[in-house]
Every structure is written in structure tokens, then in C-alpha cells.
Amino acid sequence: MTPELKAGGLVLRALQPEDAPAVHRLINDWSVVRMLSRLPFPYPRDLAEQWIDSTRHDSAQGSAHHFAITRDGSLLGAIGLVLSDDRRSGSLGYWLAPSAWGQGLTTQAARRVIEWGLTVLRLEKITADAAQDNAASLAVLTKLGFAKTGTSSRRFVSRGQDCPIDLLELPRTTFLLEAQPPTEAPVPPAEAVPVAMEPPKPRTLLVVAAALLDAQGRILLAKRPEGKRLAGLWEFPGGKVERDETPEQALIREMREELGLDLTGSCLAPFTFVSENAGPFHLLMPLYVVRRWRGVPTPREGQTLEWVAATDLGRYPMPDPDLPLIPLLQELLG
């Protein structure tokens, strides 16, 4: 089902039948509808109701996800992803009321939906298109990292004619690389003027994670909350190892801060590790198996917690570095 997403001050939620009057009023504007190829002008009210009903059906089937773009409870527009038959790619579409133009809201909403589609749905790419005279939409797509792949033409019902369109594409690898958090590059002393500088080597980022096991052999997963990078993905609890910390010290601290657990004196059993190139840095993540602790896991940072059987881990969308850990844990607990 279509989830609720947050993008800055915007809330992106599934469309509801009661949105029909607002959808009809906002779309029934020539400056909006002329850029939407399949809609007539004037735009009838019953068409808004039919469209909203179809989005709810598509969401239940998993074939498309359409979101109402809202701010302070008011509907401003809509944005959606229509998935390919093989669920490996999606097509992005959106519209926004003229009163909300020029505020960067389309970019904000689209970036969140794209991140959700590429990370949670694990789409390989997202495509989009726009009329060549729709400079604003083309600028938004370019800002989001889309690259032009070709041109075509399409019948625009409201205009009553075929119009040239640009075709664009954003691969998953491109988006994830550009979405990596910035890293600090070392600054050489002012008096040092090297004759030739080698390209900076990727910095190693050391993070630590825990597979907490309960008495039934289930593993605790945490879902990243809205507002955080990679929101909506499930992961093994843990975090960054700070300067002058050992991985064990960092794990004890993270479990206390994230979950309210006391791991002091517990058996932290090193299990395996992930070593992966993550663009601007190299990720090194040791995983510890933890079977004893004091306290009850409590989400202290807005995350959602769930105890999951090892056989069900593959059903939960996870960040790429966590995926190789699934078969190893299944073998351990099988």
C-alpha cells in the first residue's frame, strides 16, 4: 500500500475520496492541465473521483503509487510512480497548483518519492517525460539528476494536438551515488604546494551493527523514520564508531541511545562484516550477534521496531550493505 512520506514541510499521502473537490478545482486550470497529456479541458468533477478511485486500486495491486502533496493539511497537487510490469522501473509524474509554484515544492516532493522508489521498492531506474515547452518541469527533472535519453511526441488531449516531448531517465546507481552524505577532504597546509596531487583515496567509514536475538531466535529490525536518509528501510540497529571508540564501545553506546538497552557485560559475539565501496567513502561494518541484554527495546529515535524470523528477512527492504548479511544469518539460525 502507498505509505505516508514526509519531505520537509510537506506530507505525501495516499489520495482519498474526499480529495476529489480539491483535485477538480486545482487541475481545472489551463496552466496546469495543458501540461498533462491525458486530461481534457474543462476537467469534469466525476473524472477526479474516478481517477482517485483508480489510484487506490493501483496501490492495493502494487502497480502504481500516487501521493497527494499536502502542506498544513491542504492539498497542493499530486505525484506518482507507475511501475513497469516486471516492477523493475517506474515512471514519474506530477502536477502542482500554480499558487505553490516557485517555492521548490515539486523538487522536494519528487526527491522524496524517487528516494522511496529506488530504495524501498528497489527500482532499477525511474523514467519521466515532459513537453518541450514545459521548461519548469524539465528544470526540476534536471535538478533531480535525470538525463535526457531521447525525444518523442504525444497527443495532448487538452490542446487537441500532438506535442514534442523529451524523455528522461534516472538510474538507481546514479541517484544513490549523488545522495551519499558529503565527506570532508583533508586540506593541505597553505605553504605546501605539491607538484602533482594524486586523486584523494576514499575515506573508510566504520559503523557497527547488532543482530539482537530473542528467545525464539527472532532478529530485531529497526525501520528508519521519515526525515532521515533512507527513510522507510529496515536495518540492523547500530551506528557510526566515533573517534577513539572501539566497535564494542560504539555498539554499547548506540544500543543505549537508540533502544534504551544496557549491553554492559553482555556477550558481544563478532559474527561477520561488510566491506563495500559506497562512492565517496568505503564502508566497513562489523556485525555482532547479541543474545543477552538488560531492558526492553524501546524506539528512542522515532524508528519502528519489529522482531523478525530469519526466514522472513528477505521480505523487508534494507540498505544495500545489509543485504549480504541475510543469508549468513539464515544459515546461522536455520
Q: 42 preceded by cis ω (within 30°)?
A: yes
pLDDT recorded at residue 281: 79
- The DSSP result for 73-105, as a single string, is TEEEEEEEEEEPTTSSEEEEEEEE-GGGTTSSH
What percentage of the chain exceeds 70 in pLDDT?
92
Contact 128, 168 (CB under 8 A): yes
- Report the alpha-carbon distance of residue 231 to residue 120 in Å, rounded: 9
CA 298, 302, 308 angle in degrees (round to 5)? 55
DSSP single-letter state for residue 9: T
pLDDT score of 302: 92
Instruction: List pLDDT tens digits, range 7-61.
Output: 999 999 999 999 999 999 999 999 999 999 999 999 999 999 999 999 999 999 9
pLDDT band at 177 (very low <50, low <70, confident <90, very high): confident
pLDDT in tens, 101-110: 999 999 999 9
List, in order of start, the domains of the chain with CATH numbers.
Answer: 5-178 (3.40.630.30), 203-333 (3.90.79.10)
| pLDDT higher than 60, residue 261 | yes
* pLDDT given at position 184: 42
* Rounded distance between C-alpha atoms, residue 94 and residue 239, angstroms: 36
Work out the average pLDDT over 304-323.
94
Q: Hunting for cell 506530507 — which residue is that?
A: 11
- Show the cell assigned to 149: 535519453
Residue with cell 524523455: 167
Sign of CA dihedral 284, 240, 258, 291: positive
Rounded to 5°, angle at Cα 196 from 195 and 199: 155
What are 227's three cell numbers? 526525515
Q: How far apart are CA 173 and CA 175, in angstroms?
A: 6
pTM of the model: 0.82
Of residues 207 and 188, more confidence is placed in: 207
Mean pLDDT score of the chain: 91
User: Does residue 96 carry a pLDDT above 50?
Assistant: yes
pLDDT score recorded for residue 183: 42
Q: List the grid coordinates of 296.
A: 526492553
**Per-residue model confidence as pLDDT tens digits over 267-289:** 899 999 999 887 677 889 999 99
Q: What was the pLDDT predicted at 199?
A: 56
Categorize the per-residue pLDDT at 198 as very low, low, confident or very high, splitting at 50, 70 and 90: low
pLDDT of residue 228: 85
Residue 187 has pLDDT above 70, yes or no: no
Q: Answer whether 130's CB lies under 8 Å from 167's CB.
A: no
